[in-house]
Amino acid sequence: MCKDCNKKSVYVTQSGTKFCKSCFIHYIERKVLKTIRIYKLIQKKDNIVIGVSGGKDSLTCLYILNKILKERRQKLTAIFIDEGIKNYSNKNLKYAKEYCKKENVKLEIYYYKNEFKDSLIKLIKKHKNPCTVCGVTRRYLLNKKTRELNATKLATGHNLDDEAQSILMNQFKGNIEFSAKLGPKTGILMHPKFIPRIKPLYFITEKEVALYASLKKFKVSSLKCPYRPISFRSQVRDLLDKLENKYPGTKQSIVKSFLTILPLIKQKFQKEQIKTCKSCGEPANKEICRFCELMKN
């Protein structure tokens, strides 16, 4: 039974706390609000843009953020990037459109074919590695278009599972500098053209997000990227899921311990400077950004 109202429970936390439907929904929303407050993710004058994909994570994040920002009388705009993947991008967009219309949130849509003169599929055929191509081009486009919308923050639906995966991926590949950019608010250095990213669902597990979306009866896309099975992230995800099933709390422990050392990692790399790409003028780690390097090959 629920710990607060003695109604039938729908969820039990790892510590054994039981919640009924209404109390669970309140628990999730309160947890997100607490994350925003503690990590100062949103300030009074912020103009927030949220990246949506049509899936449970981004639409849950959109719903809760919209609820919070309405009370604060702050603006929220959604942005969708259409990669042009047949039977995937267009179907996800349908869910995003329907949801934003229902919640009265303005949705801005950008297409790979218009921005790059090619769909993601054609770009992948040229450069082979689908996840690298997608990651580089999406980050480039999200930052550029979010800035054009005069946003001060870009919110994403990344949850605790996503963060645990990213932490391990960077460890396995020795990309400690990339880990310095993780956390509830990404980035360690500022650049006039870089829009900081925030993760309101940072401490919410994927299982909790799925239950929340189900209880709220959100119409979300359940489609998986066709390139997901061959990605390194997918392999790390499967590994973590196996460990979590055998040793409950593994993912939370990874994120919790990482946050303990994150200040030290940030301190180590805070002397680095974000450069401006000589080719496109966007923020870059080198003289030429990864996007321009990719597009020239």
* Domains within the chain, CATH numbers bracketed: 32-257 (3.40.50.620)
Residue 75: the pLDDT is 87
Which candidate, 273, 86, 261, places its Cα nearest to that of 171?
A: 261
Residue 293: the pLDDT is 86
SS3 assignment, position 253: helix
In this prediction the pTM is 0.92
From the number of C-beta atoms within 10 Å of its C-beta (0-12, 13-18, 19+), residue 161 rates as: buried
Residue 133: the pLDDT is 84
Residues in the chain predicted with pLDDT less than 70, given as ranges, are 127-128, 187-189, 297
Residue type, 272: E
The backbone region for 86, taken as left when phi is positive above 0, alpha when psi lies in -120 to 50, beta otherwise, is beta
Strand partners, 108: 79
Residue 38: the pLDDT is 96
Long-range contacts of 15-22 (CB under 8 A, 24+ apart): 21/215
pLDDT per position as a tens digit, 195-219? 999 999 999 999 999 999 999 999 9
Which candidate, 214, 203, 198, 164, places its Cα nearest to that of 56?
A: 214
